[in-house]
Amino acid sequence: MVRAALVAVILGLLAIAPVAQADWHLSKRKAHSFAQDAAITMYGAPHPLALCRPQGRFVPEPGHAYHRWICGWADTFGDEDGGSEVCGGSLLILGSRKSHSAYHYTVHSGRSCGRYSG
């Protein structure tokens, strides 16, 4: 009897776990991670750096998570001549109710590049 009750409780917790783990509101760290992932996926950026701020704010309030983040990214790309280009852009990163690792993004400012020597 006790075992059946425990199984019922565990099954009940498993049933609500996906909802509890969804990230509608994202921390700054999670927004950075998702921006880097989007730059890799969209543009093939090898090791992008990202900086993010909540949409509509200059800085996040300490301890707060936000649904919408504007993130700038940058990375270096090698070219055919052995030189390098610095490329970057900005993305709107949005939290998702699907799962802990799901997110949505929209291109805010598309990729632009410039050569540098050094």
pLDDT, averaged across the chain? 77
The secondary structure of 13-49 as a DSSP string is HHHHHHHHH-BSSB-HHHHHHHHHHHHHHHH--SS-E
Q: Give the predicted TM-score (pTM) of the model.
A: 0.71
CA distance 68 to 94: 5
Residue 80 DSSP class: T
CA nearest to 103, candidates 51, 49, 29, 48: 29
Extents of the domains making up the chain: 23-116
**Is it the case that residue 6 has pLDDT exceeding 80?**
no
Q: What is the pLDDT of residue 21?
A: 46
How confident is residue 118, by pLDDT bands cut at 50, 70 and 90?
low
- Does pLDDT of 9 surpass 70? no
Q: What is the pLDDT of residues 41-57, one digit of tens each?
A: 998 899 999 999 998 88
| pLDDT, tens only, 76-86 | 888 777 778 88
Average pLDDT over residues 24-51: 90
Residue 40 carries which side chain, given as an amino acid letter? I
Tokens of 108: 């805010």
Q: State yes or no: pLDDT of 102 exceeds 70.
A: yes
**The pLDDT of residue 41:** 92
Q: How far apart are CA 15 and CA 19, in angstroms?
A: 8
pLDDT at residue 73, rounded to an integer: 92
In the chain, DSSP assigns E strands to 49-54, 68-78, 84-95, 103-116
